Amino acid sequence: MPRIDPAAVLAQLDLEEKASLLSGSGFWHTRAVERLGIPSIMVADGPHGLRKQPGAGDHVGAGDSVPATCFPTAAALGSSFDVDLVRRVGEAIGQEARAQGVAVVLGPGINIKRTPLCGRNFEYLSEDPLVSGVLGAALVDGVQSQGVGTSLKHFAVNNQETDRLRVSAVVDERTLREIYLAGFEHVVRTARPWTVMCSYNRVNGVYASEDPWLLTTVLRDEWQFDGLVVSDWGAVDDPVAAVAAGLDLEMPSSHGGGPTRVTAAVGSGALDESVVDRAVERLLQLLDRVAPGTWAGDGFDEDGHHELARSVAAECAVLLTNDHGLLPLRDDLTRVAVVGEFARSPRFQGAGSSKVSPTRVDDALSALHGRLGEIVQIEFAPGFGVDDPEADEDALRTEAVELAAGADVVLVFLGLPPSFESEGFDRDRMDLPDEQIRLLEAVGGVTDRVVVVLANGGAVTTAPWQHHAGAILEGWLGGQAGGGAIVDVLVGDVDPSGRLAETIPVRLVDTPAFPTFPGRDSEVVYGEGVFVGYRYYDLVDRPVSFPFGHGLSYTTFEYSDLEVDVVNVVGDPDPSADWRGPARITASVRVTNTGERAGKDVVQLYVGAPDTPRPRTVRELRGFAKVALAPGESREVSFTLTERDLSQWSTRAHDWVLEPGRFAVSVGASSRDIRCTAVVTVEGPRPVLPLGRNSTLAEWLDHPVGRGTIEEALRSAPGGDMTPLLADPETLRMLGSFPLTRLVVMLGDAMGDRLVDRLLAEVTGGSE
């Protein structure tokens, strides 16, 4: 495809042609203008593997798609905490997209896991915006390194499937900035995705597709996004309002409806043609960007990608428990019982628009036979049916118990059936299916050598049944090679190095969003604010089954020699980090493999501000690194924290604000397994927050200029000196919360007419 000069081509288009380009052609293609050589390009789903549909196709996944490598889903990738590995997955997906002539891969999805019940959580990376942002950027980097675009999604605050095309997420400004926008900001600023996909939902009452604050003020003006904004499929309610807000491409085709309305709006003067020009130029820029990479026929290394998928899945598996060293499986085993239909019929991906047609599928049962079959007797019982209402659960359970009774170890494969989680609907419970729990209880009644292997996209509760399991291995939805990868971990060929990117609570009712999810009357209130996931559990010290960041290894690691220094570096030497502000703190810690096996650990850096009076989490993840160590090997791991890493969003300043003071810098193996902590002091001027007509007396007194101004006004009040009000602590405490405008009314003429306006003019120079 030839390169395009956007400005030159734009000048030759008439209004109808411009408007036509702002809506797709069919489900998967942009519209062409043949007379000017403007081509149509193809986009395709692909968060964890390419889903290219031949022909007209459909968005919901009902139709077939061409074979492609199905990599572990995002729920698994998040647990890898491995930036380089995730980037390699992106590179492989980009290669397969290019081989199929796909110009843009619709992913990755980096929405926050506000609740474990979101039916699409398997497509999202974490409950933490740093993990989502860093790993999301790695995926974008990997795909786009192959000359194929990405579409960062779903922008923004898309955290449930219930009523997803209408629901309004009611979220305060601080929560938006610190939790739900932070991951997107990181990816946009550091990886520069070629497109961003807006979500279906409304944000504080405004459809994301029509929100100028979201699509223009934040995304383009603040974050300097220079790509194209595309709608999620069917997300546009009003195409004219969408274009005016900053949406560039409506998908899929609106069959002429959108372009007709846009053309009419320009004709009536309701929409300036320059706004249309701007959107068209962005589309032409995308066409120019993808031009060098959009050709089919290169092919890809199918075997190599399958092996990559296997190694990635192994890195994502999380060993939750391992009592009495049940894992790795001993060399002297003679009889292994394998129970659970998922061992034979693996559940390896989610349902909906991300569903891949895999090039092949490995199952754990076959992989076990291939790895141990010559020396170990392996017997299998399905134990339960998967989404099979006619399955005889009693008979299946009886067969499994008889098999388990005489085995050296029992591997029980459990998980969520496809009917339990998918795009399009949310879960109503966190538990495993009842028949699976009954099976595990029965097996646990005849042996205590039980290993549970889980296959699920959303987190499941373990508290009701984990006492029946000596070891629990969370495999997530591990992609087409997940069966072999699980066996690699079970037998010890691979050390388990996955760590939880989301908290596993004891009960669903313990989750912070439980009282408000999924809302009612097309509105959901994010009442928990910034206290999402571990931020909430750690703040209230609520028991959890497994904390954020948790994961065991077959070896052990020791942390020592934590050194933390406060520095002030003007101009961060890392260009990708300029937006975060100057470096403030450096931290280093020594990690040592104290066991007898090689292994990998995820070193996690948390920051807390113990003296901050405002509501603040106990600790927040501010860095992580995955390190591989041989037995006895040590390595120093270093982190740099910037001003942004130490700041909170201020709704008064509408900006990030750093409060000087003490900061606790901690390094650990989870949010609740803190190994080393150092408390340092960051010095500097206190932030000066703006005053306005609604500012309280306390806020005026806290302002470096406002205090003197208000004291002088009270001293020279027409009714006499009123500064004694400020000397009485009880009176000051009572009156401090009053906005000054109301206090003036209460005190009447004693404070003078139009006092607040005059004082504001003195403090602000005439403007609020």
- Residues with Cβ within 8 Å of 483's Cβ and at least 6 positions away in sequence, in order, are 343, 346, 348, 361, 362, 363, 364, 365, 366, 367
- Residues with Cβ within 8 Å of 728's Cβ and at least 6 positions away in sequence, in order, are none
Structure tokens at 448: 């205590």
> Cα dihedral sign for 66, 69, 73, 77?
negative
Please classify residue 181 by burial: count the beta carbons closer than 10 Å to its beta carbon, then call 0-12 exposed, 13-18 middle and 19+ buried.
Answer: buried
CA-based end-to-end distance of the chain? 53
| Nearest C-alpha neighbor of 637 from the set 664, 601, 603 | 603
Structure tokens at 594: 């104290």
Exposure string of 422-454, with b = 16+ CB inside 10 Å and e = fewer, is: bbebbbeebbbbebbebbbebbbebbebbbbbb
Sequence-ordered alpha helix ranges (H) in 469-533 = 482-490
Q: How far apart are CA 407 and CA 372, in angstroms?
A: 15
Phi, psi of 753 (to 5 degrees): -75, 140
Whether cis (ω within 30° of 0) applies to the bond prior to 547 is: no
Task: Output the CA torsion 129→474→538→601 (10° steps).
Answer: -70
Q: How far apart are CA 342 and CA 414, in angstroms?
A: 7
What does the DSSP assignment read for 259-276? HHHHHHHHHHTSS-HHHH
332, 511 contact by CB (below 8 A): no
What does the DSSP assignment read for 542-587? --EEE-TT--B-SS-EEEEEEEEEEEEESS-S-GGGGGG-SEEEEE
- Give bridge partners of residue 641 from the DSSP assignment: 585
Q: How far apart are CA 243 and CA 56, in angstroms?
A: 26
Q: How far apart are CA 247 and CA 296, in angstroms?
A: 29
Task: Output the CA torsion 18→24→28→32 (10° steps).
Answer: -30
Give Cα 479 to chain centroid, integer Å. 19
Q: How far apart are CA 459 and CA 659, in angstroms?
A: 36
154, 109 contact by CB (below 8 A): yes
Please classify residue 288 by burial: count the beta carbons closer than 10 Å to its beta carbon, then call 0-12 exposed, 13-18 middle and 19+ buried.
Answer: middle
Structure tokens at 572: 């961060």
Catalytic pick among 141, 211, 232, 488: 232
Where are the strands (E) in 113-266, listed by range?
149-155, 168-170, 195-198, 202-203, 206-207, 228-231
- Give bridge partners of residue 524 from the DSSP assignment: 169
Give Cα 671 to chain centroid, integer Å. 17
Whether cis (ω within 30° of 0) applies to the bond prior to 154 is: yes
Catalytic-residue membership of 323: no
Catalytic positions, please?
232
